Amino acid sequence: MSTISISKEAQEDISELKSRIGNFHLGLIPEERFKAFRLTRGVYGQRQQGVQMLRIKLPYGKITPDQLRVVAEISDEYTNGNLHLTTRQNIQLHHIPLDDTPAIWNKLERVGVTLREACGNTVRNVTASPTAGIDPNEPFDVTPYADATFKYFLRNPVCQDMGRKIKIAFSSSDQDDAFTYIHDFGFIPKIKSGIRGFKVVVGGGLGAQTFFGQIAYEFLPEEKIIPFVEAGLRVFDRHGERERRHKARLKFLLDPKKGIGLDEFLRLIDEEYKSLPNQVYPISHEEETFHAFKRPHANFKIDDVDAFRNWKRTNVTEQKQKGYYAVKIKVPLGNISSTIARKIALIAEAYASTDIRITINQGLLFRYVSVESLPALYTALGELDLNKPGFDTLADVTACPGTDTCNLGVTNSTQLATELEKVIQTEYVHLIDESQIKIKISGCMNSCGQHMIANIGFHGSSIKNGDHVVPAMQVVIGGGIEPDHQGYIAEKVIKLPTKRIPDAVRILLDDFEANAEETEYFNQYFRSEGKKYFYELLKPLADLSSIQNNEYLDWGGAEEFTPEVGVGECAGVVLDLVSTIIGDAKEKIQYAREDFEKEKWANAIYHSYSAFVIGAKALLLSEDVQCNTHKAIIEDFEKHFESHPELPVATQFSKEVLRINRYAPNAAFARVYLTGAEDFINRILKIRRQSEEGANEKLVVKDYYKA
């Protein structure tokens, strides 16, 4: 197994994580502040106390056999031997002891995999079409662009302390199988007059309130996409909401009714360009060329020819590279054991390329399989029970872990998914290859199972029935990508007891088969009949007058259901000390100095900007002034401290801080700006020392400290 040397930046990350874990155990770091730190290192608290979920960041879902083997080894050594594939093309490991996370990270970095910014208020994993590079319909391969975007924003100071997370996706064609329309930034490849570029959508998002992305550009040249995202992140960082966590996504900032709207967002982006380190950012896009690097496994005999044909029909597609095929592997619930993972690595090495992709529906995709090798590959997968037909069809139900491990889970999504797959496979065999109806389940409304882009979707909920609570699912219908490549958001229809959901699916499928026009797709039928029709269709299942005792038990539950929803790990911190916030500002100054010494002018400038804002925030909070955006902090600081004798800069604080937008990043400006930030923080420290003499430390009892 080949290994690589760990970069200096990664070594520093791992060392810092280990150090902060030690300080946390010694009580030197408050729990909530430590949480904010570890999240940006991929360490996420789970429902079970004392253990963590570890999210492994895999840009565009790519993993090699060697990397997969290392993840399997880690799973055996540190946890329960299960690898969970996610809808964000990551791998998650559960039940990890906190103290083991630095060692795990070290092992991953040796095969080129990171945990940095897999969670937290950062740029999350950059996703992409799993068929990028082999898709016959693509104008060009988006993989190099997704990869460049991931690398550019990794450890970038602009996206370390935002109000909330940012999600970016690249689709390989207008078919939009990466669902760009539900992302903060989405890119679809276009060629205009021989020039490569992208259709750009912004401000999409799932969750409790789902927003459809808005078109920012029908065509943006390829070298401008990274500067556009960087400028957009700066605008989001300065203007985005921070006090109210559920309003802190980019989609709310771009809301034309309650936010600034798309036009203003684009205008503010234009103002940011001068301060960017790169006005254009060319991306190398030499496409990888494969030859017949695997010996064809010809004349391989299989026992069940019909089963093989069914598998090929739903799980095998021809690549744009003549003579090669992509093989899609249906992975129930996205869970594979470490033993199976090792065998998958061996199979890929024997029959396909070493570029394995995790798919958005929690499966796997092999690339560059010769037609002669398909029978042997089918048989090898069959030995692992992974050659079932129906990849990404009605029979392939997507589900987040739900109450198995997540604090936010309301009801069990995984057991329900298993039950629904049984229903399809036994009662609707003729629909196993139905690719225009997808079922997706989330344990709560936050949509980690992406239920709002499902044709038939469910999210965990509950129904009060006298003195008892019934575990329930909210039914949503009509989401996803249709044959005309148009994306849709599902509509809420009705809430039903979760034990009645299999019957709900039967009713929906039976009605569709009996009454839809022959050429009508499921979503077309839903829209033609209307939401009220489907509400009435399912309404009898909502009648609780005949409820049975077992319906008070969730799927897989042995005791009567009691909602136990914890606080999500992405929530803002509830309380803090003003001195700790000033400590954050000092830390930003230190980062700025380090980047200045490395001649990273733009990074030094942005860290200095953050120090200005955080320092101002500390003083405002000491006076109980609410802080919900960087923009408001800058304005309020001038208003509240303009006459302070120690702060002559306060009268022109906005001009001082927002100089960041008026100068291109260079050594001269970085030096002046950093010096100004250092002087400002020193003045604040003096003020705090004076005010704290003989007084108790100021406690900020609000969640708006996150600004």
- One domain for residues 368 and 415: no
For residue 17, give the nearest of 119, 93, 149 by alpha carbon: 119
For 385, other C-beta atoms within 10 Å of its C-beta total 9
Rounded Cα distance, 20 and 588, in Å? 17
Q: What is the SS3 assignment for 358? A: strand
Element (H, E) at 295: none
- One domain for residues 546 and 619: no
pLDDT value at position 568?
A: 53
Output DSSP code: residue 205.
Answer: B
Strand order in the sheet with 324-329: 62-63, 356-358, 364-370, 324-329, 316-318
Total-model pTM? 0.95
Instruction: Please name every residue paired with 55 in a beta bridge, in sequence order, or none if there are none.
Output: 92
For residue 302, give the nearest of 229, 237, 239, 382 by alpha carbon: 382
- One domain for residues 536 and 411: yes
- One domain for residues 547 and 413: yes
Do residues 489 and 479 lie in contact, with contact meaning Cβ atoms separated by under 8 Å? Answer: yes
Distance of CA 543 to the CA centre of its chain: 37
Tokens 């150090």 belong to: 19
Mind listing the pLDDT tens digit for each residue in 569-602? 544 333 456 888 898 999 999 999 999 999 999 9
Among 324, 352, 382, which residue terminates a domain?
382
562 versus 184: which is more confidently predicted? Answer: 184
Residue 187's alpha-carbon distances to 18, 122, 195, 449, 481, in angstroms, are 37, 19, 15, 22, 16
Q: Rounded to 10 degrees, what is the CA torsion of 180, 183, 184, 189? A: -10
- One domain for residues 692 and 650: yes
Instruction: Please name every residue paired with 475 in a beta bridge, in sequence order, or none if there are none.
Output: 458, 494
Phi/psi of residue 451, each to 5°?
A: -65, -25
- Residue 585 domain-assigned (yes or no): yes
For residue 490, give the nearest of 248, 179, 85 by alpha carbon: 179
- One domain for residues 521 and 490: yes
Output DSSP code: residue 260.
Answer: -
Rounded Cα distance, 502 and 496, in Å? 11
Among 492, 518, 552, which residue terminates a domain?
552
Domain that holds residue 541: 398-552
Confidence of residue 706 (pLDDT cuts 50, 70, 90): very low
For residue 131, give the nearest of 90, 173, 169 by alpha carbon: 173
- One domain for residues 633 and 670: yes
- Residue 96 domain-assigned (yes or no): no
Q: What is the SS3 assignment for 123? A: strand
Do residues 603 and 666 lie in contact, with contact meaning Cβ atoms separated by under 8 Å? Answer: no
Q: What is the SS3 assignment for 158? A: helix
Rounded Cα distance, 526 and 546, in Å? 29
- Residue 690 domain-assigned (yes or no): yes
Rounded Cα distance, 614 and 634, in Å? 10
Q: What is the SS3 assignment for 6? A: coil
pLDDT value at position 617?
A: 93
pLDDT value at position 6?
A: 96
- One domain for residues 445 and 547: yes
Confidence of residue 299 (pLDDT cuts 50, 70, 90): confident
Phi/psi of residue 91, each to 5°?
A: -120, 135
- One domain for residues 402 and 545: yes
Task: Give all strands (DSSP E) within 510-629, no chain letters.
Answer: 575-577
Residue 462 pLDDT exceeds 60: yes
Confidence of residue 285 (pLDDT cuts 50, 70, 90): confident
CATH number for position 348: 3.30.70.3340
Residue 299's alpha-carbon distances to 305, 308, 386, in angstroms, are 14, 15, 22
CATH number for position 547: 3.30.413.10
List the single range of 33-37, 52-56, 539-543, 649-653 with lowest mean pLDDT.
649-653
- Residue 99 domain-assigned (yes or no): no
pLDDT value at position 573?
A: 39
Rounded Cα distance, 378 and 74, in Å? 28
Do residues 245 and 571 lie in contact, with contact meaning Cβ atoms separated by under 8 Å? Answer: yes
Q: According to DSSP H, which parts of 491-530 are helical? A: 501-515, 522-529
Mind listing the pLDDT tens digit for each residue in 342-392? 999 999 999 999 999 999 999 999 999 999 999 999 999 999 999 999 999
- Residue 32 domain-assigned (yes or no): no
- One domain for residues 418 and 513: yes
Number of domains composing the chain: 3
Residues near 87 by beta carbon (within 8 Å), at least 6 away in sequence: 360, 361, 362, 398, 400, 448, 449, 450
- One domain for residues 543 and 434: yes
Residue 361's alpha-carbon distances to 61, 367, 688, in angstroms, are 11, 17, 52
Rounded Cα distance, 49 and 645, in Å? 49
Mean pLDDT, residues 26-38 taken together: 90
pLDDT value at position 696?
A: 52
* Burial (CB count within 10 angstroms: exposed 0-12, middle 13-18, buried 19+), residue 31: exposed
Rounded Cα distance, 8 and 432, in Å? 50
Single-letter code of the amino acid located at 314: T
Q: What is the SS3 assignment for 301? A: coil
CATH number for position 596: 1.20.120.330
Single-letter code of the amino acid located at 309: R
Mind listing the pLDDT tens digit for each residue in 78-113? 999 999 999 999 999 999 999 999 999 999 999 999
For residue 500, give the nearest of 544, 533, 531 by alpha carbon: 544
Rounded Cα distance, 18 and 24, in Å? 10
For residue 657, give the nearest of 680, 626, 629 by alpha carbon: 680
Among 334, 357, 382, which residue terminates a domain?
382
Instruction: Please name every residue paired with 474 in a beta bridge, in sequence order, or none if there are none.
Output: 459, 495
- Residue 598 domain-assigned (yes or no): yes
- The token duo for 705 is 């400290």
Tokens 């039903």 belong to: 496
- One domain for residues 478 and 619: no
For residue 78, give the nearest of 56, 55, 57, 94 by alpha carbon: 94
Q: What is the SS3 assignment for 156? A: coil
- Residue 37 domain-assigned (yes or no): no
Rounded Cα distance, 371 and 543, in Å? 53
